[in-house]
Structure 1
Amino acid sequence: MNTNKLPYLKEFPNSQGYFGKFGGSFVPEEIAKQMQEINEAYNLIAQNSDFIAELRKIRKHFQGRPTPIYFAHNLTQKYKGAGIYLKREDLNHTGAHKLNHCMGEGLLAKFMGKKKLIAETGAGQHGVALATAAAYFGLECEIHMGEVDIAKEHPNVVRMKLLGAKVIPVSFGAKTLKEAVDSAFEAYLKDPINSMYAIGSVVGPHPFPKMVRDFQAIVGIESHEQFLEMTGELPDIVCACVGGGSNAMGIFSGFIDDCVKLVGVEPLGRGSKLGEHAASLTYGSEGIIHGFNSIMLKDSKGEPASVHSVASGLDYPSVGPEHAFLHSISRTDVTTISDKEAIRAFFELSRIEGIIPAIESSHALAYALKIAPDLKGKKILVNLSGRGDKDIDFVVENYGYGE
């Protein structure tokens, strides 16, 4: 719990982008100048009532916000324990929480006179959301995506192309999310004046961890108000999956100053051996990656390790610096869920509630289902950060229909 005079979100990060010792900006000089310009522009428009009004208009009339909280009555009845509630970010336009910050980043890019948005994507949700924002604001869009994820998340690749984005296959290394970030950064370096690298999570150099969190905080703000209205009290536990951690920081932001347990659910993948999972906070150590200091998984040379998760959006060897900080001060708890547990939860929600979730979100749901039987009388709020349309071909090919 924060005991300082300022609300947590006003106090962190500091002016240099640090959450305690985590965060900051570790980038080449030419990129540092661009990051400073983005920071100055963001600080300017974040105080501008016209910008705030425009973003609110977009959220209401284009995105379809607020998204509802749903009481999962069938799951609650089956597991005979805690009440299970879902924040339905799968109902946000494009099917995930990602559009919350992409529309904000697109509006910022337009304000700065940029002509092109560049980004990485893993599961494709950020890529689709950014392509949507680019179309809305009349900007070019270039999305870098690992070849493994292109094959795995084909429906989202089609959606990005239909929206007018250029999808760049990344064929080096593990051909997944980390390499997509590397590739996108290289492309951005070629023309930082006319383009903006729209980072897809609460990672990267300052100001992106703060900026993405601020845009995603709408999830937590809505959830706080909605849960009180629905139940007359706050949830006992709020949980969300954590890869980079944008959906988790979004919903955590609404409860961070309250007496509510916040739990980040990391991907255990196939097991605890290095290379079989992407559980950075659970098994990692301090290090610098992609321009920020955080907790990361390292190989024997101290470089970012190979990682694995059945969820492409969680397949990253580090975590947002704010998550590292909150865990270090014991404000958040961290747990893990395996591939098998996540897939089992995917089928449970589909069959029992009629909601097909993203595999990423299924990690948080799996945790809720695991603990619910022992918490009778308690209430658990799960951030259902995305829908599973993108995953159905992969799931059926590898797991059948869950029978």
Structure 2
Amino acid sequence: MSQSSHASSAWYRPMLARHAGEDHRTASALELFFDLCFVAAVAQASSAFEHEIVAGRTLHGLLGYALVFFAIWWAWMNFTWFASAYDTDDVPYRLLTLVQITGALFMAAGTTQALEHGDFTVITWGYVVMRLAMVSQWLRAACTDRKRRRSALRYAVGILVLQIGWLVRLLLPHDGGTVSFVVLAIGELAVPVWAERAIGTTWHPQHIAERYGLFTLIVLGESVMAAGLAVRAALDTHKELGSVLVIALGGMLTVFALWWLYFAQDAPRRLRTQSTAMLWGYGHYVVFAAAAAVGAGLAVNVAHVTHQHALTDVQAAATYTLPVALFITCVWLLHRRAAQPSGKANVLPPVAALAVLATTFTAMYAVLFTGVIASLLIGTHVVAARREAVER
């Protein structure tokens, strides 16, 4: 029985490292609730990104989206890896997680203001609340897990110093906002590298793979919602209903294929060492951001065919094809060594990504053709896997 399952009613338990080979280690109900609260932040980021594109501020929107999504992803990622190693599920742990959830909701509330107007005040305070709760968690681990105390203290000190930096950043002139954000973001990325050098924490490969898979479902779900809202809008206004339905069909084909592609990978095999796991975990920033951007691109293309903005056909198509191609390429790069596919199968994803990019120039049919190409990619993978199984 897992530690979490029999500790759910405990007032307090020593925060000791969980065994990395623990049987039946799955996401807890609290972790699922935590993810649910991040749905709001992802949805707000995707919606604000779409608004910026439709308003003709594509580059501004892209920069804001990259910065905002980093804050969302990094806050989620840090909790996920910590919970994999130190989930005690006692009362203090739950209360501190509740504080982090509150911070996540503040982040969601400030996402639109940050992305559209460059005002990071609310999202920064929400982020800092989440991260200070993580400092408390790491200090708890340092007090009870003597073996990994150096790592826990490095995490606590590193995170605390950076939170001071994030608050100081709010006082800087607007012109220095992006540069200071990048510097602090690099610092955030460096903390786990520094802390894990002391002694590695005991994260669980299967648990981490499941948690990342669940967040992938969240961001892909935003695209499903975008398709549903697009169809509803077309039905309400009776504008270009046929074209909208074609886009919705292409969107659903794409999302289903992206889901299939992601979950066809054997992620735990990739998480064998600290260095490969860290590269895999960091690389998911692109996977998650691209998946959420697919929904925004889908909404942009619906708005385009219903004449709600002045983007060109190619510009509208690119808002969809670029994130899809990026998702396919990044998943391929993160898993190609662990999967050990045959030579022909290994070249399929990059070829499919290039084909998706080529559909950008098919104008209003780009979304449908992208869905078809993504579906063909999955079909060829299935056939290749079947042939390999027969040959064995």
Query: TM over 0.5, yes or no?
Result: no
TM (norm. structure 2) is 0.35
In terms of fraction of residues, the more helix-rich structure is 2
In terms of fraction of residues, the more strand-rich structure is 1
Considering only CA atoms, is the larger Rg found in Structure 1 or Structure 2? 2
TM (norm. structure 1) is 0.35
Higher RCO (CA < 8 A, seq sep 6+)? 1
